[in-house]
Amino acid sequence: MLAIFGAAVALWISEAIPLAATAVGIILAEILLVSDQAVLALAPQFEPNTYQSFYASLAHPVLMLFLGGFVLADSAAKYQLDRNLAGVMLRPFGSSPRSLLGGLMVITALLSMFMSNTATTAAMIAVIIPVTASLDPSDRLRVSLTLAVPVAANVGGLGTPVGTPPNAIALGRLADEGIRVDFLTWMVAAVPLMVVVLVFAWLVLTWRYPATTKAVDLTIGGAFDRSRPAIILYATFFLTIIAWLSEPIHGVPASIVGFVPVVVLLSSGVFTVDDLRKLNWHVLWLVGGGIALGSGVASTGLDAWMVGLLDWESMPNIVLLAALGLLAIVLSTVISNSATANLLIPIGITLATSGATDLDPLLAGLLIAIACSLAMALPVSTPPNAVAYATGTVATKDLASVGVLVGGFGLLLAVFVAPVLWKGMGLM
**How far, in Å, CA of 72 to CA of 66, rounded?**
10
Q: Is 35 in a helix, a strand, or coil?
A: strand
pLDDT band at 119 (very low <50, low <70, confident <90, very high): confident
What is the DSSP secondary-structure string of 187-236?
Answer: HHHHHHHHHHHHHHHHHHHHHHS--S-S--------PPP-SHHHHHHHHH
Q: Can you give the pLDDT at residue 411?
A: 94
Domain ranges of the chain: 23-37+53-424
Residue 92, burial from CB neighbour count under 10 angstroms (0-12, 13-18, 19+): exposed
- Give kind and range of the element (H or E) at residue 133: helix 117-133
pTM above 0.85, yes or no: no
pLDDT band at 31 (very low <50, low <70, confident <90, very high): very high
* Least confident segment among 143-147, 183-187, 376-380: 376-380
Average of per-residue pLDDT across 114-122:
77
Q: Pick from 265, 244, 356, 270: which is nearest to 309 by CA?
A: 356
Q: Can you give the pLDDT at residue 200?
A: 97
